[in-house]
Chains A and B, each alone.
Chain A
């Protein structure tokens, strides 16, 4: 089996790392070799965070090459733009239709509200979902990451029962919420 490359991008605190770990664990349980690693800067929160998950028969590099990523899972629209060049030309973007305005840095340009339309125009397959709104309806905005993971799960070759047992590794107090979020995402 060839290596599948997934890039997960978000804003610090959105749970990009948790989603990466769940995906990597599911890929391992499904019998793959896996490497997963995240890039993050100096501070704890608020900055851009991205993580690579690569799985298949044998994975060498922990980092996917630019232009070879199969799936980009973006927890925020601007972050989808920031990492879209990692995708292969016909790659798929699963994007949270949600805006987190960056802190003011003196860069006066407006936020790119048309990010999703722009990415569609580039020829990528784009699955956009209002995952944060869905998560808020479920009771916690933090579950947006797992809504998107559910959407990704319907597109990749990891069996549903593996996903179910992987989610059960989550702490009890957040398990039911995340199971609900995953199921909702999978139906998108």
Chain B
């Protein structure tokens, strides 16, 4: 039966059909739903790992152990896994091993743009790229066959648009992949000792993959107008078909290594060929290395942001598209905000008041750098906050706080805190423990007490963990209590050694939190002096109406922060009024 499913769901469906047995990953938009959907199949052992490198290493073990394996991550997750990603190809895999990497051109939910295909080239690993959900489901099966045929890990690269677009898919049955025996061949798997012997073999394997690319069925030439030639791949293929249905198109399903002979012959037929690809000019540069130079690519179709039908129409046909109406009317920005009752609000309201320097990290709380708080001054990548705070401290800044979420702390923060302890730097850290991986949609992690498949699990005790690292000053507070929050941060900052404040309060979007009965707050207009302090809490449940702040009671979860901030106690719980 035809189903309407997202690219991410289709990949999980295809991997299940391909007989995948083990899957691991770390949440990261836009890749998250692949593993979440893999976990729904009882035949697949899927779990969240503490970070992407751990997931990759677990995957390597599973694939060598003979189980078809998939690991999932976003582009910046591959940076974390890069050490393993670069070395594993020297050994080669036993059972099929596919790394699903989701790039985010346009940075809808990422700190940078990266074209992961460069990583694949550096590691000498083949790359497959599907163009929609239906193709993704079939191509993932090809990826496993390719992996086993050449004993190579395979990169399956998607982008946000493919991941999050639903399309029509026809599900098939699962074909079991029997477990493959592992032979203890030290000369193949103990890489540092034998790498120099493996190195030429890796090159030979790449040469075989180049031959494979010439015959690969996913590299398709679609005949059309003999005057208009386009080389494209993935989602941009869809845009090209829309803008120039008449064109002769070479659609690449395998973008590394490229079919040099076929591309050379194809391009020789045209005066100029358009190379239209998402992110960097990777295909274009490879083609240039083959001596194919009658090409227009990134000089016309930008490498900044996400491509679109409109951008390609402009580049191919010179068409213009309507601009928005902001010149004629008021289109106020509507940036994402912390939810009503968000546990982070109390911490950032306090940090703003204290005026300290804040090094931040990756999570919903990164919103702390935006109005109304603007109380986060640096943010780079997973786990960076603590090391950054230690560094600022060494430069002479003593009023600095590193702020990190629970999932991020376990992912990449623990070694940084240990470094501060070891080097006796008085780093101050706030652990925002909201009991979930919030930003990516409430995933489980080693601190939540549950697994991806819904089972019970031991939950990290943060206070014990942090004390065991050697931090002597640890204080647990509820960030819905502004006074306690401020006192704890002040005391941590004045402590002569490393100090940690654990701000503990569950994410309000967790089902068990949503189910709680809440007492909403209300503004008593007679008491209100219209100082607007409460409005600076940036709460979506508190709006400006008819000259007064007004609590939208159906959105209020009763966190009481607006009431605590009110200097005349004009905001009170509804039942007490």
Chain A contact residues, CB within 8 Å of chain B: 11-12, 21, 24-25, 28, 33-48, 60-67, 78-79, 81-82, 84-86, 100-107, 109-112, 115, 118, 122, 141
Contacts and interface: CB of A to CB of B under 8 A. Distances in A.
Given A37-B165, A104-B535, A115-B329, A45 B339 contact: yes
Given A61-B239, A105-B332, A112-B330, 5 more contacts: A35-B165, A43-B337, A45-B540, A47-B337, A115-B329
B381 interface: no
B504 interface: no
Contacts of A102: 332-335
Interface in B315-348: 321-325, 328-339
B61 interface: no
A11 to B, nearest CB: 7
A159 B168 CA distance: 20
B352 interface: no
Interface of B: 2, 4, 6, 29, 108-109, 132, 161, 164-168, 235, 238-239, 241-242, 308-310, 313, 321-325, 328-339, 364, 366-367, 370-372, 438-439, 441, 509, 535-536, 538, 540, 543-545, 554
Chain A interface mostly: loop
18 contacts: A34-B4, A36-B165, A37-B166, A41-B109, A43-B336, A44-B339, A44-B364, A47-B336, A60-B238, A63-B161, A65-B242, A66-B310, A85-B323, A102-B333, A106-B371, A109-B330, A111-B332, A118-B329
Contact of A101 (B238, B366, B509, B544): B544
B331 A36 contact: no
Given A28-B4, A36-B166, A111 B330 contact: yes
Contacts of A35: 132, 165-167
A81 B329 CA distance: 8
Contacts of A40: 108-109
Contacts of A103: 334-335, 337, 372, 538, 540
A71 to B, nearest CB: 16
A38 to B, nearest CB: 6
Contacts of B323: 85
A187 to B, nearest CB: 26
Given A37-B165, A46-B339, A62-B238, A110 B540 contact: no
B550 to A, nearest CB: 9
Contact of A63 (B6, B308, B545): B308
Nearest to A111: B332
Given A28-B168, A67-B321, A106-B371, A45 B330 contact: no
Contact of B335 (A44, A100, A105): A105
B110 to A, nearest CB: 9
A108 B199 CA distance: 62
A171 B438 CA distance: 25
Contacts of A44: 336, 339, 364, 438-439, 441, 509
A153 to B, nearest CB: 18
Contacts of A47: 334-337
Contacts of B329: 81, 112, 115, 118
Contacts of A41: 108-109, 335-336
Contacts of B6: 37
B238 A61 contact: yes
A61 B132 CA distance: 9
B339 A60 contact: no
Contacts of A79: 334
B320 to A, nearest CB: 9
B332 A78 contact: yes
Contacts of B339: 43-46
Nearest to B363: A42
A24 B242 contact: no
Nearest to A113: B330
Given A34-B4, A65-B321, A101-B544, A43 B310 contact: no
A110 to B, nearest CB: 7
